[in-house]
Amino acid sequence: MTVKKKWTVITGFLALAAAATLLSAYSGASSSQGLRVEQPIKFVHAPHVQKAGMNCLYCHSAANKSPDPGNASVATCMGCHTLVKTTSPEIKKLAAYWNNGVNAKPIPWNRVHKVPDYVQFPHFRHVNAGVTCQSCHGQIQNQGAQGPDTNYVPVQQVNSLNMGWCINCHVNGYKPADGARAAGMPVTAELEAAPPKKARYDCAVCHY
């Protein structure tokens, strides 16, 4: 083996090792980005938001007044679905849970967006600060645009939700214009002009 060859081999190995270290370090190892879970009922956001024009807060009623956004109760669903789309198989499932209110059962939704338990995430602080839902939850309003039957995709975790991701926004600030764009809202001039909203980023803001 010639000297030249030997050195290429050795440096090659070194380069590989370095690359591996960096990759493993940067890959959000404990992130569940892209997580998608099958749900007991093929719920579709799009018709509710786009057709029915419902506000997120209609179902996630606590999102602007509690750390916990809350979720529609079965009764809330049945408020409409005793009349609407009663024949659809998915709604039949829903009706089965409700069972005309006679010892009704709650729907065991599978949690998609979950931060570790040592993270305190107050939804309402973010919502009230004007952070649009889409900034974290992605294009949730389009989920299941073609209904539950044609190429259905359940709700998905589009962002890593890992610490670096949170901190990025707390340090560099949330840009209202970007948020509005993500939410498909009109981006006005003063929105564009608005300075990014920074937030605290010392540990005890979220970890206690």
Partner 1 sequence: MQGVLGAFHHIDATVAAIKDAKARRLGDLTVYTPTINHELDDAIDAPVSVVRRFTLVGGLLGVSFGYWVAIWSSNYWPLVTGGKAIASWIPYTIIGFEMMVLVGALSTVAGMFINSRIPRLTTTTGYDARFSAGHFGVFIACDAGKAEQAEAILRQHGAVEVRREG
Partner 2 sequence: MSTEAGTGVKRREFLKILGATGATTAAVGCSSEQVGKLIPYVAHPDNTVPGVSQYYATTCRECATACGVLAEVRDGRPIKLDGNPAHAMSRGAICSTGLSAVQGLYNPDRYRSPMVREGNTLKPTTWDKALALLAQKLGEVKSRGQAGNVVFLNQHEAGTFPGFLDQWLAANGMPAHLSVDPLAPVATIAANQQAYGAAWPGLDFGAAKLVVSFGADFLDGWGHPVPQQLDWADARAKIEGAPRLVYIGARRSLTGLNADQWIPAKPGSEMALCAALTGKGTAAAAAEASGVPAGTIEALAAAITAAGSGTMALCGVTGADAVACGTMVADINKQQGAVGVTIKPAAGHGGYAGLSSFADVAAAMQKMAAGTVPLAFVRGANPAHTTPAAAGNFAQAFGKVAFKVAFSAMPDETAELCDLILPDHHWLESWGDAVGMSGQLGLQQPTLDPVFDTRATGDVLIQVAKMDQALAAKYPAADYRSWYIGKFPGGASGFTAALTKPSVAGAPLAARTAATPVPGAAPAAGTGEFFVHVFPSPTLGDGRGANKPWLQELPDPVSKIAWQSWVEIHPSTAKKLGVTEGTHLTIETAGGKVTAPAYIYLGVRPDTVAIALGQGHTAYGRFAKGVGVNAYALLAGGWDTAGGLKGKVTVAAESSPLVTTEGSARQHGRGIGQAVTLAALMGQEAEEGHGHHAIPGLPSQDFQSGLKSPIAADAQGEFADPQGKDKGMYDPAHSSKMEKRRWAMTIDLARCTGCSACVTACYSENNIPTVGAPYQGRALSPSQWDERPGANIIKGREMAWIRLERYFEGANDAETTFSADFDTRFVPMMCQHCGNAPCEPVCPVYATYHSPDGLNVQVYNRCVGTRYCSNNCPYKVRYFNWFGYGEPARRQYAWPEPMHWMLNPDVTVRGKGVMEKCTFCVQRIREAEHRARSEGQEMAADAFTTACAQACPSRAIVFGDAADENWTVAKLAYDRRAYHVFEELNTYTAVVYLKKVNHPAPASPAKG
Partner 3 sequence: MATTAAHPERVGIRGPNIASADVQLPAVRDYEQVDRDIIATLGFTKKWFLGLGIAVLAMLCGLSAWLYQIYWGLGQAGYEPPVMWGNYIITFVFWVGIGHAGTLISAILYLFRAGFRTSIYRAAEAMTVFAVMTAGLFPIIHIGRPWKFFWLLPYPNWRLLFPNFKSPLVWDVFAISTYLTISTTFLFIGLIPDIAVLRDKETNPTRKRILSILSLGWRNSDREWRHFAKAYLFLAAFSTPLVLSVHSVVSFDFAMAQTPGWHASIFPPYFVAGAIFSGFAMVWTIAIPMRKWFKLEHYITLNHLDATAKVVLFTSMVVGCAYLIEFFIAWYSGVRAEQEFFWNRVFGQWWWAAWIMLLCNMALPMSLWSQKLRRNPAWLFVLSLFINLGMWFERFVIVVPSLSHEFEPWQWGGYTPSWIDMAFLVGSFGWFFMWFLLFVKQLPVMAIAELKEIVAPRRLHGHDGGHH
Its sign, for the CA torsion 54, 59, 60, 62, is positive
Name which of partner 2, partner 3, partner 1, none residue 149 binds, using a CB cut-off of 5 to 8 Å depending on partner kind: none
Chain-centroid distance of CA 12 in Å reads 41
Q: Which of 51, 83, 111, 150 binds partner 2 (CB under 8 A)?
A: 111
Under the rule (CB under 8 A), what is the footprint of partner 1? 1, 3, 6, 202-203
Name which of partner 3, partner 2, partner 1, none residue 73 binds, using a CB cut-off of 5 to 8 Å depending on partner kind: partner 2
SS3 (DSSP) at 160: coil
Name which of partner 3, partner 2, partner 1, none residue 1 binds, using a CB cut-off of 5 to 8 Å depending on partner kind: partner 1
Q: Which of 42, 46, 66, 141 binds partner 2 (CB under 8 A)?
A: 66
- Which two structure tokens, joined as six digits, stand for 70? 């809350």
The reply to whether 65 sits near partner 2 by the rule CB under 8 A is: yes
* Least CB distance to partner 1 at residue 20 (A): 20
Name which of partner 2, partner 3, partner 1, none residue 14 binds, using a CB cut-off of 5 to 8 Å depending on partner kind: none
To which residue do tokens 């608005």 refer? 194
For the purposes of burial, counting CB atoms within 10 Å of the CB of 132, is it exposed (0-12), middle (13-18) or buried (19 or more)?
Answer: buried
Q: What distance in Å separates the CA atoms of residue 143 and residue 64, rounded to the nearest whole number?
A: 22
Residue 84 phi, psi (nearest 5): -85, 130
Under the rule (CB under 8 A), what is the footprint of partner 3? 21-22, 25-28, 31, 160, 162-164, 167
Q: What distance in Å separates the CA atoms of residue 81 and residue 72, rounded to the nearest whole number?
A: 13
DSSP summary character for residue 139:
S
* Least CB distance to partner 2 at residue 38 (A): 10
* Least CB distance to partner 2 at residue 150 (A): 25
Q: What distance in Å separates the CA atoms of residue 49 and residue 28, rounded to the nearest whole number?
A: 32
Chain-centroid distance of CA 30 in Å reads 16
Cα-based angle 185, 188, 190 (whole degrees, multiple of 5):
135
The reply to whether 205 sits near partner 2 by the rule CB under 8 A is: yes
* Least CB distance to partner 2 at residue 29 (A): 10
Question: For residue 150, which of 74, 70, 42 has the smallest C-alpha distance?
Answer: 42
| Segment contacting partner 2 by CB under 8 A, of 6-14, 17-25, 46-54, 198-206 | 198-206
Name the residues that contact partner 2, by CB under 8 A: 30-32, 35, 37, 61-62, 65-68, 70-76, 101, 104-112, 114-118, 120, 122, 124-125, 128, 161-162, 197-205, 207-208
